[in-house]
Structure 1
């Protein structure tokens, strides 16, 4: 499910969203992966939270800048403050 009102506009917002997922802040079950993708019908970029069967648990639209520049953050994880 993608909520049209929730758009991740900046890399800081992406990092906060990824940390929220990592920390279980959204209460999602069986989270197995995160991916950047594009909508098949219109090419709009989004971040997908996937379960262990590669089914979409949650999605958020992302800006084109986040899609292009956030790939490493999604791939390797957000920086974590120690």
Structure 2
């Protein structure tokens, strides 16, 4: 997660990220859950993709605003278009 160019800074990008995960994107296998979390080392927030053993498969940094306003979208899934 050291690549700051991949920071999700708006809800539309968060929604697109979630849709991509749901559609099997990023080549991930065994996705069991997605959640918002905070890095203990520096307090930065991120959206995390986990497998059934709670192993981190993929994560993207999110801004404070996306962390605060995107929790329900992560919890309930993106809107179906």
TM-score when normalising by structure 2: 0.95
Match of 1:30 in 2: 30
| Residue correspondence of structure 1 range 55-74 to structure 2 within 5 A | 55-74=55-74
Match of 1:40 in 2: 40
- Cα distance in 2 for partners of 1:60, 1:3 equals 9
TM-score when normalising by structure 1: 0.94
Q: Which runs of 5+ in 1 are unaligned?
A: none
Higher helix share: 2
- Cα distance in 2 for partners of 1:77, 1:58 equals 17
1:8 is paired with a residue whose SS is coil
Q: Give the RMSD, CA atoms, in angstroms.
A: 0.8
